[in-house]
Amino acid sequence: MKFPRSCGILLHPTSLPGPFGSGDLGASAYQFIDWLSSANQSLWQMLPLSPAGMANSPYMSLSAFAGSPLFIDLRELISHDWLTKDDLGGTPNGSYSRVDYLHTAQFRMNVILKASSQFFLHGDPKEHEQFEIYCEKEKSWLENYALFQALNQTYGGREWSAWDYDLVHRKPAVLKKARKELQEQVNFHKFTQWCFARQWQSLKKYANERKIKLVGDIPIFVAHHSADVWSNPDDFYLKDNGKPTIVAGVPPDYFSEDGQRWGNPLYRWNVMKKQKYQWWVERFRKAFELFNIIRIDHFRGFEAYWEIPAKEKTARIGRWVKGPGEDLFKAVKRELGTLPIIAEDLGVMTPEVVALRDRFKFPGMKVLQFAFLTGPENSFLPHTYDRNCVVYTGTHDNDTSLGWYEKATEHERDFVRRYCKTDGHEMNWDLIKLSLESVADMAVIPLQDIIGLKSDGRMNFPGTVDGNWEWRFTWDEIKPWMTERLFELTTLYGRCNPGKIKL
């Protein structure tokens, strides 16, 4: 798909300011959209919005369809008389610059539980009707998700393969009994999804009215401990006890001598093909309800993926296996039409992966931090770009621009200074300018680079499990001159928000 020349900001909603331990869909989200508009931006890109799983990673979610309850704006619940201001008094302790997931989740979920109880006991009949309509509309995934979460709570977060045998094997009579016994918990989790959906659609409408497009993220794989795998076991390579036989990852490379063993169960693509890829069609349908544009993480896995025996502790031992290729995207396109998709095509790309990407005209990604490792032939350098790509100064997996420059080799530092014709004094703005002036149709800048943060602003360090996904900003970090400078560069290089008057 051809995208207009534009630019935007990469920021996960957890990083927004706010008093309740993490960012959410409340006032700061609307304020951020207003700021994007004031800076002449057209895109807000974020990470997956699903409930985070292992190590708080949004890429190891408990569901491919659900929204995280941690994003629910608690103050909005007061307007329905499900909460009072006093219910929000005991805010979680901790720094406003980092998310303390343990205490934040405990506080937020307890508050939402109060709101849920009030809704089911004393809620307005019209709101109950809206809730029932939502549950019926989302029934195909919501029923399984709500029961999974209720059981997950009952079993103290243990992997579903360690639950009772009949639950692992989804015996109908046992599932029916569990739904009845856990009805209150099941209804609570349905309530969280209804609240998330209402609030998200309101935020999306607000953004789109201001010509801001929301860019979402679909991880190719799902977590083993998820409602998706538990409720669709035939679609994955699992043992009879529910544990994976083979798992996903990437082989050893320049960055990791052991490769990366992600541990996600792998799809039985032959089974999914017989089902006309319906699970994937519905996954994309849900994603396009939430977002205007979707980035597919690890796009190369649709052409071929690295299969690792589950017994292996690293990704050293494995093999490349062919994925569904264009069959999948043809099936999705037949049902959903035009696919506004960005392909995350980083790493070692084969001609087959490039051909798959280009077959559907999906723009790939260019990351400037990778551009200065070698010489002028490097495909991440802007002079090599085709227009149909998205340029980033860095992604959520990279250091900030200033952090990268501080740790770069002398070759890289010299190369980037000569390429940008700069002394390196403001390397974050040098790279921002380089991205905006490039021919790439879209440019996306992490907010950390606008603010000018060093490595303490990094969002994620691949291969580690502690301290990731926690970074937050405060409004006083964004100075008026930063907004003005971004506006001017955006205007100068023809990436104006369609709702703004061009200079």
| Residue 503 CB neighbour total at 10 angstroms | 9
- Measured over the CA atoms of residue 15, residue 19, residue 22 and residue 25, the dihedral's sign is negative
pLDDT top residue among 1 and 274: 274
pLDDT in tens, 463-490: 888 999 999 999 999 999 999 999 999 9
Q: What is the pLDDT of residue 211?
A: 98
- Residue in 172, 114, 120, 163 with CA at minimum distance from that of residue 143: 172
CB of 261 within 8 A of CB of 315? Answer: yes
Does residue 143 have an active-site annotation? no
- Residue in 310, 253, 281, 292 with CA at minimum distance from that of residue 6: 292
CA distance 374 to 16: 36
Active-site residue (options: 34, 397, 412, 477): 397
pLDDT band, very low/low/confident/very high, at 88 (cuts 50, 70, 90): very high
Give the orientation angle of helix 183-209 with respect to helix 139-154, to 10 degrees: 130
CA distance 431 to 418: 12
Q: What is the pLDDT of residue 350?
A: 94
Half-sphere exposure of residue 29, counting CA atoms within 13 Å on the CB side?
25
* Torsion angle of C-alpha atoms 377, 382, 387, 389, degrees rounded to 10: 90
Q: Which residue has the tokens 């949004």?
A: 58
Does residue 406 have an active-site annotation? no
Phi/psi for 324 (5° steps) reads: -75, -20
Q: What is the pLDDT of residue 92?
A: 77
pLDDT band, very low/low/confident/very high, at 407 (cuts 50, 70, 90): very high
Structure token pair of residue 124: 């307005």
CA distance 25 to 212: 16
Burial class (CB in 10 A: 0-12, 13-18, 19+), 151: buried
CA distance 380 to 402: 18
Active-site residue (options: 73, 76, 344, 441): 344
First to last CA, the chain: 28
- The full DSSP string for 411-460 is HHHHHHHHHHTS-STTHHHHHHHHHHHSS-SEEEEEHHHHHT--GGG---
DSSP code of 475?
G
Residue ranges in 97-241 assigned as alpha helix (H): 101-122, 125-137, 139-154, 165-168, 172-181, 183-209, 227-231
Phi/psi for 490 (5° steps) reads: -60, -45
pLDDT in tens, 119-165: 999 999 999 999 999 999 999 999 999 999 999 999 999 999 999 99
CB of 51 within 8 A of CB of 196? Answer: no
Taking residues 489-503, report their average pLDDT.
85
Within 8 A by CB and 6+ apart from 336, the residues are 281, 284, 285, 288
CA distance 315 to 184: 42
pLDDT in tens, 188-228: 999 999 999 999 999 999 999 999 999 999 999 999 999 99
CA distance 298 to 306: 11
267-272 contacts: CB < 8 A, separation 24 or more?
267/235, 267/236, 267/237, 268/234, 268/235, 268/236, 268/237, 269/323, 269/324, 271/234, 271/235, 272/235, 272/324
CB of 46 within 8 A of CB of 484? Answer: no
Phi/psi for 449 (5° steps) reads: -75, -30
CA distance 493 to 5: 9
- For residue 11, give the amino acid letter: L
Pairing between strand 213-219 and 43-45?
parallel
Is residue 240 scored above 50 in pLDDT? yes
Average pLDDT, the chain: 96
pLDDT band, very low/low/confident/very high, at 348 (cuts 50, 70, 90): confident
Q: Which residue has the tokens 């309530």?
A: 191
pLDDT in tens, 47-77: 999 999 999 999 999 999 999 999 999 999 9
pLDDT in tens, 365-403: 999 999 999 999 999 999 999 999 999 999 999 999 999
Q: What is the pLDDT of residue 501?
A: 56
Reduced DSSP (H G I as helix, E B as strand, rest coil) percent helix, strand, coil of the chain, to 5: 45, 15, 40
Burial class (CB in 10 A: 0-12, 13-18, 19+), 190: buried
Is residue 452 scored above 70 in pLDDT? yes
pLDDT band, very low/low/confident/very high, at 361 (cuts 50, 70, 90): very high
Active-site residue (options: 228, 235, 297, 470): 297
Helix or strand (DSSP H, E) at 483? helix 480-492
Q: What is the pLDDT of residue 95?
A: 65
Q: How far is CA 425 from CA 413, 420, 429, 430, 452, in A?
A: 11, 12, 9, 9, 11
Q: What is the pLDDT of residue 503?
A: 46
- The full DSSP string for 382-413 is GGG--SSEEEES--TTSPPHHHHHHHS-HHHH
Using DSSP, state whether 52 is helix, strand or coil.
coil
> pTM value?
0.97
pLDDT in tens, 280-322: 999 999 999 999 999 999 999 999 999 999 999 999 999 999 9
Does residue 397 have an active-site annotation? yes
